[in-house]
Amino acid sequence: MAFRLTLWYGGIFTISALVAFSALYLVISSVIQERRNEDLLEDVEEFSTLLATQGLDAVKAEMAWEAMSDGAENIFLRLLSTDGRELESTDMSLWRNIGSSTNALEKLKNGANHVLETLTLPEHEHRVRMVYGIIGPDTIMQIGELLEEDEEFLAIFREVFLPIMAVMTIAAALMGWFMARCAMAGVEEVTQTAVEISKGAFDRRVPLKVRGDEIERLATTFNHMLDRISVLIREMREMTDNIAHDLRSPLARMRAASEMALTTSSVDEHKTIAAGIIEECDRLLGMINTMLDIAEAESGAGELVLEEVDMADMIRQACELFQPIAENNSVTMTTELPDGCVFRGESRKLQRMIANLLDNALKYTPSEGTVKVALTVTNEQIAISVSDTGLGISEEDLPHIFKRFYTCNKKTQPQHGTGLGLSLVKAIARAHGGHVHVTSRPGKGSTFTVTLPRSPLHHPGQPSI
């Protein structure tokens, strides 16, 4: 890329220089020609004045002096009548092919004061600039000057420009290479860091320099990406360790049960062992399916199947489903629900989210405790809160409870489940554009609040509560 940038720099500079030289060359040529024209017209004006004041003989004498001083090979002067007849001239031996222009004479007859022409003569290396001007009644002055000096000056200008252009092009290429290397230095650092990371140096980062350019933004973004990848790798390792830990116990129990089945011949014992193995398999399948649901919700791999759901009715049915469990544990369940609340979301996932919150509250609420479920509705959002009077969550555990496979401190909390329920609640809430928040006081209970936006998932035309 540095090489391509150098070519671009050099090419753009060369083209710009050529354009600038061409424009300058045209300007200089135009100025030289304009000055030549002014000199010729001044000569015509002087001869006109001389004719009017001193007569024809004085004009002839001045013509001879002009030809002698400038050189007969560089200038000629002629007096012509209006019909083109030669009245007087200087030495024309070197200008034999010069005649009078019928077109120029016609223009003078039609009222023009002067006519300028440029001729290319075979016997002369340089061109000739001529002027026809009326200097008196029926008298026309024709003056021709060789453009040798003008053309030699322009030739020198061209000859000087070419080596200067070559030197400046080389200098531009070197400067372009230097600028390209400076511009690409940050990219090279990013590339080198990426190479080192690909070799296993996951702790490497791109050194940041305060330059305020796009390369600095690239390096910052690259480092943020690396930090995020490191967090994901760490979480994957933790999750793998947790999965291995959680799979080991049920698999060990299944293996022990299978060994026992091999040593006994009782049909009833075989059935009991088989039932236990099936229960363990169901537990493992449930854990795996929950992990897949969390991964799908967090990655957005599966699109939500949106439908209109009455959240109040859904929560009411979930509470009725968990009511027997609450009664068996001597836990009182209360609800504060509106008559209806239409929300657009995926009903299956929303049901699992509510069921997990209720199951979690009932698990950690002792006998004679209370679980309260409330639904608050505004124009912008809905809030589902599940409060309990259970054991509460310690400050040490509170920041981690939504992590997969995280279980609270064994010294203060009895162990229930796999530690995936709250992770699934968070994933489903975020998939619907919402979030979940928890407040807790150890020994007093906890409150989980899921806040879901009614827009954009809320359809403008759906009925209100």
Say if residue 9 is in the same domain as residue 148.
Answer: yes
Mean of all residue pLDDT scores within the chain: 82
Return the CATH number at 327. 3.30.565.10
* Residue 409 confidence (pLDDT) above 60: no
* Domain containing residue 295: 233-299
* Residue 367 confidence (pLDDT) above 50: yes
Say if residue 289 is in the same domain as residue 352.
Answer: no
Give a yes or no: residue 96 inside a domain: yes
Say if residue 319 is in the same domain as residue 447.
Answer: yes
Give a yes or no: residue 173 inside a domain: no
Higher pLDDT, 350 or 305: 350
Say if residue 48 is in the same domain as residue 129.
Answer: yes
Give a yes or no: residue 215 inside a domain: no
* Residue 460 confidence (pLDDT) above 50: no
* Residue 354 confidence (pLDDT) above 80: yes
* Residue 347 confidence (pLDDT) above 50: yes
Give a yes or no: residue 180 inside a domain: no
Give a yes or no: residue 183 inside a domain: no
Say if residue 357 is in the same domain as residue 427.
Answer: yes
The most confident of the ranges 8-12, 116-120, 200-204, 234-238 is 116-120
Q: Residues of the chain with pLDDT > 90: what percent?
A: 28
* Residue 49 confidence (pLDDT) above 90: yes
Say if residue 410 is in the same domain as residue 385.
Answer: yes
Say if residue 292 is in the same domain as residue 337.
Answer: no
Say if residue 103 is in the same domain as residue 43.
Answer: yes
| Residue whose entry in the numeric block shows the structure tokens 């006998």 | 367
Higher pLDDT, 72 or 213: 72
Show which of 119, 134, 152 is a domain's final residue. 152
Q: What's the CA dihedral at 293, 295, 300, 303 to 10 degrees?
A: -20
Return the CATH number at 135. 3.30.450.20
Dist CA 349 CA 405 (whole Å): 20
Q: What is the enclosing helix (H) or strand (E) of 204?
A: none
| Residue whose entry in the numeric block shows the structure tokens 């407040």 | 439
Helix (H, G, I), strand (E, B) or coil at 132: strand
For 31-40, what is the mean pLDDT? Answer: 92
pLDDT tens string 410-427 = 444 554 556 777 888 998
Confidence of residue 350 (pLDDT cuts 50, 70, 90): very high
Confidence of residue 121 (pLDDT cuts 50, 70, 90): confident
pTM of the model: 0.49
Per-residue pLDDT, 412: 46
pLDDT tens string 173-229 = 888 787 777 766 667 777 777 787 777 777 777 776 665 566 777 777 878 888 877
Say if residue 40 is in the same domain as residue 123.
Answer: yes
Say if residue 270 is in the same domain as residue 329.
Answer: no
For 320-339, what is the mean pLDDT? Answer: 92
* Residue 456 confidence (pLDDT) above 70: no
Confidence of residue 465 (pLDDT cuts 50, 70, 90): very low
- Whether residue 326 contacts residue 333, with contact meaning beta carbons closer than 8 Å, is answered with yes
Per-residue pLDDT, 183: 67
Say if residue 100 is in the same domain as residue 14.
Answer: yes
* Residue 381 confidence (pLDDT) above 80: yes
- Whether residue 142 contacts residue 132, with contact meaning beta carbons closer than 8 Å, is answered with yes
Show which of 299, 324, 355 is a domain's final residue. 299
Return the CATH number at 255. 1.10.287.130
Give a yes or no: residue 192 inside a domain: no
Dist CA 235 CA 299 (whole Å): 15
Show which of 267, 299, 331 is a domain's final residue. 299
Dist CA 134 CA 142 (whole Å): 9
Confidence of residue 333 (pLDDT cuts 50, 70, 90): very high
* Residue 442 confidence (pLDDT) above 70: yes
Dist CA 206 CA 62 (whole Å): 85
* Residue 9 confidence (pLDDT) above 80: no
Number of domains in the chain: 3
Question: CB-based burial of residue 224 (10 Å sphere; 0-12 exposed, 13-18 middle, 19+ buried)?
Answer: exposed
Confidence of residue 168 (pLDDT cuts 50, 70, 90): confident
For 4-31, what is the mean pLDDT? Answer: 84
Task: Among 87-101, 115-129, 269-283, name the one with the lowest average pLDDT.
Answer: 269-283
* Residue 274 confidence (pLDDT) above 50: yes
Q: Residues of the chain with pLDDT > 70: what percent?
A: 86
Give a yes or no: residue 465 inside a domain: no
Per-residue pLDDT, 212: 54
- Whether residue 424 contacts residue 356, with contact meaning beta carbons closer than 8 Å, is answered with yes
Within 10 angstroms of residue 62's Cβ, the number of other Cβ atoms is 17
Give a yes or no: residue 11 inside a domain: yes
Say if residue 251 is in the same domain as residue 378.
Answer: no
